[in-house]
Amino acid sequence: MGVEMRDYAIDLFDRWTGMWNGDLALADEIMAPEFTLRYAQPGADIYDDIHDRAAFAAAIDKFRAERPGLVFSAQGEPVVEMSDARTGFIARPYGARVTDPDGAVLRDLSGTDILRFENGQIVEVWSVSGGLGGRSFYA
């Protein structure tokens, strides 16, 4: 796999992270018109029935409104498998940090997201974390 293909997958993951950090316009860019979400976190069953961009962006917006001070970041080494320049998988650990209005860290959590993409858009997501009771693997 070429460096450009790997870089494409990493950039897609970074845009995925940006969407979760509130850039909801990215949903139209990076999500396929129809997709499947598989979230293993406690309380994440609301994502089971979301299969379109608008509903997903609305769910992320609501999620963020309920968790002020939450910032996601890519962490660890990505694992990339691609069959061509815009189709494949990327799996990468992520961090979720919650801070108070003064910037003090309230929670640091980790998880892993696996994105399957076709023709440059995400068609399936697998996400695993311990939820609010989880722990951080990357300080």
Domain CATH for 87: 3.10.450.50
135 in a structural domain: no
Q: What is the pLDDT of residue 92?
A: 96
Q: Mention every residue, 6+ apart, whose C-beta is less than 8 A from residue 61.
A: 22, 24
Q: What is the pLDDT of residue 132?
A: 62
How many distinct structural domains can be found in the chain?
1
Beta 121-129 vs 31-39: how paired, if at all?
Answer: parallel
Tens digit of pLDDT per residue, the chain (139 long)?
A: 577 889 999 999 999 999 999 999 999 999 999 999 999 887 888 999 999 999 999 999 999 999 888 899 999 899 999 998 899 999 999 988 888 888 888 778 889 999 999 999 999 999 998 666 666 666 5
Read off the pTM.
0.90
Residues in the chain: 139
116 in a structural domain: yes
137 in a structural domain: no
Q: Mention every residue, 6+ apart, whose C-beta is less than 8 A from residue 33.
A: 52, 53
59 in a structural domain: yes
Q: What is the pLDDT of residue 84?
A: 87
**What's the CA gap between 113 and 111, in Å, rounded?**
7
**What's the CA gap between 33 and 15, in Å, rounded?**
17
64 in a structural domain: yes
Q: Which domain holds residue 81?
A: 3-130
Q: What is the pLDDT of residue 23?
A: 98
